[in-house]
C-alpha cells in the first residue's frame, strides 16, 4: 500500500542506518538494490516506484508549491488529454524549474507572490495529503501563462477548442472565486473568463 512509502532526507537515512559500520555504504547498497529511490539531492523514497504518489512528491521536490496548470486540470477532469508532466505553481523564483526523476517529470512555473496564497486546497490520497489548486485557480494559472486574447469570442475558442474544456464545466465554475481572480491576476485572459461566466449566466436569466 502507498501509505507504507516514506520520504527521507540524507541525514534521516544516516540516522536510520547508524547501526551499520558504514551507514553511507549501506545507503548506497539499498539504492542499488532498488529498496530506496533517490528522487533528487536530499530527497529519497523508501518503497517501490509503483508505490510512489507523484502528487505527494510534487510538493516535496520544490517549494513552496502546489499542483496546478495542466496536471490539475486533468486531475479535475476538465481537459481530456493525459498529462505526463506534473505541473505546479511556485513564486519568487527567477525562472521555471524542471526536475527529471525516476518517479516522473516535475515542472514548476512561477506566478506572482500576491496571487500565490489564493485557491489552494489540501487533498488526500491513501492517508497522505498534498496541495493542489482549486479548479478555478488551476485554470486561471494556466490562462495567465497563455498570450492574452482581446475578445470573449477568442477566449471561448481557446477554452472550448484549444483546451477542449466543456461548456458545462466552464459555466459550473465558482463565479465568486473567478471574480476575485479577475481582480488580483490583472491579466486579460483571466478578466475575460470572469466576463464570459457572467455573460452566460445573464443570458440564461434573460
Convert the pLDDT of each residue in 3-14 to its tens digit: 456 899 999 999
Residue 201 has pLDDT above 70, yes or no: no
What is the domain partition of the chain in residue ranges? 2-48, 54-205
Three-class secondary structure assignment of the chain: CHHHCEEECHHHHHHHCCCCCCHHHHHHHHHHCCCEEEEECCEEEECCHHHCCHHHHHHHHCCCCEECHHHHHHHCCCCCCCCCEEEEEEECCCCCEEEEECCEEEEEEEECCCCCCCCEEEEEECCEEEEEECHHHHHHHHHHCCCCCCCHHHHHHHHHHHCCCCHHHHHCCCHHHHHHHHHHCCCHHHHHHHHHHHHHHHHHHC
What was the pLDDT predicted at 3?
A: 42
Residue 80 has pLDDT above 70, yes or no: yes
Residue 202 has pLDDT above 80, yes or no: no
Amino acid at each position: 500500500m502507498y501509505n507504507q512509502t516514506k520520504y527521507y532526507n540524507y541525514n534521516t537515512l544516516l540516522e536510520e542506518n547508524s547501526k551499520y559500520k558504514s551507514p553511507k555504504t549501506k545507503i548506497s547498497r539499498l539504492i542499488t538494490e532498488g529498496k530506496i529511490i533517490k528522487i533528487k539531492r536530499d530527497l529519497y523514497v523508501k518503497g517501490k516506484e509503483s508505490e510512489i504518489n507523484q502528487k505527494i512528491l510534487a510538493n516535496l521536490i520544490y517549494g513552496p508549491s502546489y499542483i496546478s496548470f495542466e496536471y490539475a486540470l486533468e486531475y479535475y477532469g476538465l481537459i481530456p488529454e493525459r498529462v505526463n508532466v506534473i505541473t505546479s505553481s511556485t513564486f519568487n523564483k527567477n525562472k521555471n524549474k524542471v526536475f527529471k526523476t525516476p518517479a516522473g517529470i516535475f515542472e514548476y512555473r512561477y506566478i506572482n507572490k500576491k496571487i500565490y496564497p489564493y485557491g489552494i486546497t489540501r487533498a488526500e490520497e491513501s492517508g497522505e495529503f498534498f496541495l493542489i489548486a482549486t479548479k478555478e485557480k488551476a485554470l486561471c494559472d494556466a490562462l495567465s501563462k497563455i498570450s492574452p486574447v482581446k475578445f470573449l469570442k477568442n477566449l471561448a475558442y481557446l477554452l472550448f477548442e484549444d483546451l477542449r474544456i466543456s461548456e458545462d464545466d466552464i459555466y459550473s465554475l465558482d463565479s465568486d472565486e473567478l471574480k476575485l481572480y479577475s481582480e488580483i491576476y490583472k491579466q486579460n485572459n483571466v478578466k475575460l473568463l470572469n466576463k464570459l461566466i457572467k455573460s452566460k449566466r445573464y443570458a440564461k436569466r434573460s
